[in-house]
């Protein structure tokens, strides 16, 4: 997949800008705080409907502006795709796919596909399980819109079950209502678990290979799914787990078991990199995971998604940089950097100077 044009209006530091990237390596060059990441963020919003930096749409709207909008045109094997997202300061966001306004947010998924590696990715490795679930959820939602809908169903049922648990504390007769929420939660949860297991198995295989290359054969990376329900990924096992947890859940007024408690373990040389990895090992593990996400997405989608690398080059030693650059062939890539020297050997196709929220093609 290739982005042929991107237009940002009132998005972060941009009043209005347009770029027509090439199919190879595109570079955004500029000093700190000039608006490089903002461009990648806008592209990422068109892939997933969400920013990687904030959940608040308002933060994406240029200060003082009435709305922010991003439009991305892409060429894929099956033809052209366009996504346009308008985020008004007041009111609901509007999304158009190929000119048609969509009714459900899931309809956005899978049109513009991309993988973003950013400094925030270190959190996937270092922070709590929520970050790792998000890593998996965002990739799977782009590959399979059905997964995104299952996530939504799950979140709704979970909210209702938790509310019911709170009601039970004052009205014990509401206990019977748990049955129906348990059932909905189990069906959606089982679907999430099955897809997560299959995805993480593929990811782990790809990541082992990527990591071996990037670390120059020095390190072994393994990614393991740690489901919250250990008896099985089916609805029945989820039902039983919820039933067993009922007493605890009523006491704590929250749901203690299910897909929202899943985790993913990342091991380097057989040890949990979260606890035992050095900063550099954690960074490389995060990079390997993103590059593997790219591989798995290609396998599933039948074509490469685009790749966005934010602030990556300067952090890698020359060997790792070479390995990374070697992988970019045939993949439309967007790279941000402050120093053009860091790009030696990257085969830059098109470059822009980013300054004070304006883009100038070099």
Ligand X SMILES: Nc1ncnc2c1ncn2[C@@H]1O[C@H](COP(=O)(O)OP(=O)(O)OP(=O)(O)O)[C@@H](O)[C@H]1O
Q: Tell me the closest approach of the beta carbon of residue 306 to Mg ion, in angstroms.
A: 18
Is 347 within 8 Å of 24 (Cβ atoms)? yes
Q: Does 38 bind ligand X (CB under 6 A)?
A: yes
Q: Tell me the closest approach of the beta carbon of residue 262 to Mg ion, in angstroms.
A: 30
Name which of 37 and 288 has its Cβ closer to ligand X.
37
Q: Tell me the closest approach of the beta carbon of residue 355 to Mg ion, in angstroms.
A: 14
Residue 218 Cα to chain centre, angstroms: 28
Name which of 10 and 227 has its Cβ closer to ligand X.
10
Q: Does 36 bind ligand X (CB under 6 A)?
A: yes
Q: Does 37 bind Mg ion (CB under 5 A)?
A: yes
13 binds, among ligand X, Mg ion, none (CB under 5 to 8 A by kind): ligand X
Q: Tell me the closest approach of the beta carbon of residue 95 to ligand X, in angstroms.
A: 20
Name which of 7 and 336 has its Cβ closer to ligand X.
336
Judged by CB under 6 A, the residue of 26, 34, 195, 282 near ligand X is: 34
63 binds, among Mg ion, ligand X, none (CB under 5 to 8 A by kind): ligand X
Site map 297..316 versus ligand X, x via CB under 6 A: --------------x-----
Name which of 48 and 323 has its Cβ closer to ligand X.
48
Q: Tell me the closest approach of the beta carbon of residue 20 to ligand X, in angstroms.
A: 20
- Which chain residues interact with Mg ion by CB under 5 A? 37
């Amino acid at each position: 997949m290739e982005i042929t044009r991107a237009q940002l209006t009132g998005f972060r530091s941009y009043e209005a800008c347009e770029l027509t990237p090439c199919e190879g390596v595109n570079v955004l060059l500029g000093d700190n705080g000039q608006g490089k990441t903002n461009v990648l963020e806008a592209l990422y919003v068109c892939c997933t409907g969400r920013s990687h930096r904030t959940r608040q749409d308002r933060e994406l709207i240029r200060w003082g502006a009435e709305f922010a909008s991003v439009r991305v045109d892409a060429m894929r094997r099956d033809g052209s795709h366009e996504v346009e997202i308008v985020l008004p300061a007041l009111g609901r966001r509007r999304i158009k796919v190929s000119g048609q306004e969509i009714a459900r947010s899931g309809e956005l998924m899978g049109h513009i596909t991309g993988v973003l590696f950013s400094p925030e990715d270190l959190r996937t490795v270092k922070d709590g399980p929520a970050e790792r679930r998000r890593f998996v959820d965002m990739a799977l939602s782009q590959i399979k819109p059905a997964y995104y809908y299952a996530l939504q169903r799950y979140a709704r049922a979970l909210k209702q079950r938790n509310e019911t648990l709170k009601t039970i504390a004052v009205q014990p007769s509401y206990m019977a209502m748990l049955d129906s929420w348990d059932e909905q939660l189990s069906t959606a949860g089982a679907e999430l678990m099955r897809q997560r297991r299959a995805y993480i198995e593929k990811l782990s295989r790809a990541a082992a290979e990527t990591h071996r290359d990037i670390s120059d054969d020095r390190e072994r990376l393994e990614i393991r799914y740690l489901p919250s329900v250990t008896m099985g990924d089916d609805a029945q096992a989820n039902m039983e787990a919820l039933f067993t947890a009922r007493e605890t859940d009523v006491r704590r007024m929250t749901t203690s078991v299910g897909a929202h408690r899943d985790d993913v373990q990342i091991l380097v040389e057989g040890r949990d990199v979260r606890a035992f990895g050095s900063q550099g090992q954690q960074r490389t593990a995060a990079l390997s995971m993103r590059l593997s996400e790219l591989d798995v997405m290609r396998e599933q989608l039948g074509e490469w998604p685009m790749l966005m690398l934010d602030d990556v080059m300067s952090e890698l030693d020359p060997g790792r940089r070479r390995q990374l650059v070697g992988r970019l062939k045939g993949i439309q890539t967007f790279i941000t950097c402050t120093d053009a020297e860091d790009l030696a050997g990257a085969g830059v196709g098109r470059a822009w100077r980013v300054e004070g929220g304006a883009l100038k093609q070099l």
